[in-house]
């Protein structure tokens, strides 16, 4: 656990240090994933069903406010649907305009939930959204989660019935009626919206209770409510929900919510303190739960030699080695000189993989070799003179 807490602190420090770069990167990734998913699910307009276009749009989104990603995504959806049929584009556009006019005008920050909900549906873990929003949001988040769910189901309906829409006779009202029916009478969508809303409310209420492990209890209760409501909805309305998918998705969602809790709400219930005091107007019954936190271990690098000395020693090394090499080349005593060269070679190799202290040691070695080489030079010349 301590290791995890240390990692969390490292991550926090890292994020605060590089926030200026990480924020655009995060926006870029979110926009890229969203647009790629839209292209994967719809992809009717070949001009924008292109990685380069998606990358350009994502790059643009990374420098714009988060709400703009939702606008760009809405634009992509409308264009794709326009390529399929004008009625589809019209209905989708009107639906999104209604959402923006009535809700996202108030809380533009929630537009991220509008994007993440369909993304989580595609990743088969939509149950994490009501849990996460119940834990970190407010009951008003029901609107954003519901809007995301409606958009996902509407797009799925169009993508599933694309051939039917294409085959339909060229009557605008028939297509329009078909789409509105698909939107309003989508039982699976209604059941999911209701289940998510109930789960979000339950999670929100329980996590605010003054009980130990309220967050964990809240997420488990929320998941159970979600699963039960979806299965009951399936029994009553025959929504064709995969039981295994719901169960597995629920478990994965709880795990993800636990990860979220680790970063947002990490407390130590074993050290809970209950205090009671009073002032002129009130009696106070206070429960204080300490946060789990560890200090990040800091590494202190003690420099024995300064950078300047290190550079100087390196220069000395190269100078002495050059001198030695030339001396060795000039040396008449070939055997000794060859031995000296080998030693220098070793010194050079060790110098590449060494620290400052070792480098200095190498300087000494090379100096010794240098003097040995000088000696060999003189001896070599001496020998040659003797031979003469």
Partner 1 sequence: MLNEERIILMTKMASYEEHEGKKNVAIGNYFRSDYIGFQLLKSVISATVAFLIVFGMFVFYDFEMFMQDIYKMDLLSFAKNVLIAYAVTVGGYTVITYIVCVKRYNRAKQSLKCYYNNLKKLSGIYEK
Residues that bind partner 1 (CB under 8 A): 91, 94, 97-98, 101-102, 105-106, 173, 176-177, 180
Pick between residue 17 and residue 364 the one whose CB is nearest to partner 1. 17
CB of 27 to partner 1, least distance (A): 17
Question: If you ran DSSP here, which 8-state letter would residue 125 be given?
Answer: -
What does the alpha-carbon distance between residue 161 and residue 41 come to, in Å, rounded to a whole number? Answer: 12
Pick between residue 180 and residue 338 the one whose CB is nearest to partner 1. 180
Q: Can you tell me whether residue 127 is helix, strand or coil?
A: coil
What does the alpha-carbon distance between residue 328 and residue 334 come to, in Å, rounded to a whole number? Answer: 8
CB of 106 to partner 1, least distance (A): 6
Q: Mention every residue, 6+ apart, whose C-beta is less than 8 A from residue 318.
A: none
Q: How far is CA 204 from CA 138, 266, 288, in A?
A: 7, 17, 20
In the block, residue with structure tokens 């979806």: 230
Of 275, 14, 241, nearest in space to 121 by CA: 241
Question: If you ran DSSP here, which 8-state letter would residue 106 be given?
Answer: T
Of 119, 194, 195, 183, nearest in space to 154 by CA: 183
Q: How far is CA 92 from CA 67, 104, 300, in A?
A: 18, 16, 58
CB of 61 to partner 1, least distance (A): 21
CB of 154 to partner 1, least distance (A): 13
CB of 177 to partner 1, least distance (A): 6
Pick between residue 127 and residue 178 the one whose CB is nearest to partner 1. 178
CB of 207 to partner 1, least distance (A): 22
Question: In this structure, are strands 273-278 and 283-288 parallel, antiparallel, or unpaired?
Answer: antiparallel
How many other CB atoms are found less than 10 A from the CB of residue 43?
14
CB of 19 to partner 1, least distance (A): 12
Per-position DSSP letters for 239-303, written without gaps between them: ----HHHHHHHHHHHHHHHHHHHHHH--B-GGG-EEEEEE-SS-EEEEEE-PBP--PPPPP----
Pick between residue 56 and residue 94 the one whose CB is nearest to partner 1. 94
Q: Mention every residue, 6+ apart, whose C-beta is less than 8 A from residue 208.
A: 214
Pick between residue 141 and residue 343 the one whose CB is nearest to partner 1. 141
What does the alpha-carbon distance between residue 344 and residue 321 come to, in Å, rounded to a whole number? Answer: 7
Pick between residue 98 and residue 209 the one whose CB is nearest to partner 1. 98
CB of 98 to partner 1, least distance (A): 5
Pick between residue 98 and residue 232 the one whose CB is nearest to partner 1. 98
CB of 105 to partner 1, least distance (A): 6
């Amino acid at each position: 656990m301590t290791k995890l807490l240390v990692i969390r602190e490292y991550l926090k420090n890292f994020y605060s240090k590089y926030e200026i770069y990480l924020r655009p990167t995060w926006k870029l990734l979110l926009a890229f994933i969203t647009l790629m998913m839209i292209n994967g699910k719809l992809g009717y307009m070949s001009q924008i069903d292109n990685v380069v276009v998606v990358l350009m749009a994502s790059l643009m989104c990374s420098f714009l406010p988060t709400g703009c990603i939702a606008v760009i995504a809405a634009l992509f959806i409308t264009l794709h649907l326009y390529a399929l049929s004008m009625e589809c584009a019209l209905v989708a556009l009107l639906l999104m305009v209604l959402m923006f006019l009535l809700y996202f005008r108030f809380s533009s920050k929630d537009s991220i939930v509008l994007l993440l909900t369909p993304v989580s549906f595609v990743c088969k873990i939509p149950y994490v959204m009501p849990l996460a929003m119940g834990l970190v949001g407010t009951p008003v988040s029901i609107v954003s989660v519901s809007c995301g769910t409606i958009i996902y189901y509407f797009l799925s309906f169009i993508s599933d019935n694309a051939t039917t829409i294409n085959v339909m006779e060229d009557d605008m009202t028939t297509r329009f009626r078909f789409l509105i029916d698909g939107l309003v009478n989508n039982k699976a969508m209604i059941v999911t919206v209701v289940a998510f809303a109930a789960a979000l409310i339950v999670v929100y209420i329980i996590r605010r209770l003054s009980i130990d492990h309220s967050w964990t209890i809240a997420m488990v209760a929320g998941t159970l409510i979600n699963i039960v409501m979806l299965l009951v909805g399936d029994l009553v309305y025959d929504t064709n929900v995969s039981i295994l998918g719901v169960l597995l998705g629920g478990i994965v969602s709880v795990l993800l919510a636990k990860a979220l809790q680790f970063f947002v709400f990490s407390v130590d219930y074993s050290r809970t303190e209950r205090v009671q005091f009073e002032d002129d107007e009130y009696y106070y019954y206070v429960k204080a739960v300490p946060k789990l936190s560890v200090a990040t271990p800091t590494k202190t690098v003690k420099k024995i030699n300064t950078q300047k000395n290190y550079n100087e020693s390196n220069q000395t090394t190269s100078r002495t080695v050059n001198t030695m090499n030339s001396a060795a080349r000039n040396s008449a005593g070939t055997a000794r000189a060859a031995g000296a060269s080998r030693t220098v070679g070793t010194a050079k190799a060790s110098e590449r993989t060494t620290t400052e202290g070792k480098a200095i040691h190498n300087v000494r070695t090379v100096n010794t070799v240098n003097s040995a080489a000088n000696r060999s030079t003189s001896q070599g010349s001496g020998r040659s003179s003797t031979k003469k």
